[in-house]
Chains A and B, each alone.
Chain A
Amino acid sequence: GAVVSQHPSWVICKSGTSVKIECRSLDFQATTMFWYRQFPKQSLMLMATSNEGSKATYEQGVEKDKFLINHASLTLSTLTVTSAHPEDSSFYICSARVVGGLNNEQFFGPGTRLTVL
């Protein structure tokens, strides 16, 4: 399957700081990437859809000014959690859709565990 990487894999930060998470498609081009958040023992919750060269589409209830998404190239999307607070502590996972794949399947990055103190 296609490979999606994320960096960093984990991060611990102080409340009020900003954290940037990178998502890269390593062996394919991804015009669309997705950002999910997963709290313990809960399912994936879609936060936003990131489209290369255009503004991201945020899901209802997700603050676009707090979770900044930039999809600058066909292989890179970034999520910046601005002024992070302890309630933002979660597992953030990106995924990319393989355009032209057999069924446009989505592949996930390994995730970034964010802990805000």
Chain B
Amino acid sequence: QKEVEQNSGPLSVPEGAIASLNCTYSDRGSQSFFWYRQYSGKSPELIMFIYSNGDKEDGRFTAQLNKASQYVSLLIRDSQPSDSATYLCAVRGFKTIFGAGTRLFVKA
């Protein structure tokens, strides 16, 4: 079992729709959870972090964390073509582990 699992996608959504990205992790001792966006050929860019159960909203982005289910998600509202990228989930316990990423395509 991978330590951090993400659906590789691609996930395709129409412009203006909600994109839902999911991530599960295996280490129950994980403390902090991060979502990064990575455009092709570029390095990851931090979008959000969350460390308490529940939802955290920042603009069009909402991170959701459920530690009991070892699940973290990212919702992108009003998706734009510029949101098309690979989204990496990162989980930090003793060290930070990255998922393989989910490719998102937003169709204009």
Contact = CB atoms under 8 A, between A and B. Distances in A.
Partners in one complex: yes
A43 interface: yes
Given A1-B46, A93-B43, A105 B34 contact: yes
A108 B44 contact: yes
Interface in A81-117: 91, 93, 103-111, 113
Contacts of A106: 34, 46, 90, 96
The secondary structure that dominates the B interface is strand
Interface residues of B, number: 20
Q: Please give me the 7 A-B residue pairs with the lowest Cβ-Cβ distance, nearest first.
A: A43-B100, A111-B43, A108-B43, A44-B98, A93-B43, A108-B44, A43-B98
Given A93-B44, A108-B46, 13 more contacts: A43-B98, A43-B99, A43-B100, A44-B44, A44-B98, A49-B95, A91-B41, A93-B43, A105-B49, A106-B34, A108-B45, A110-B42, A111-B43
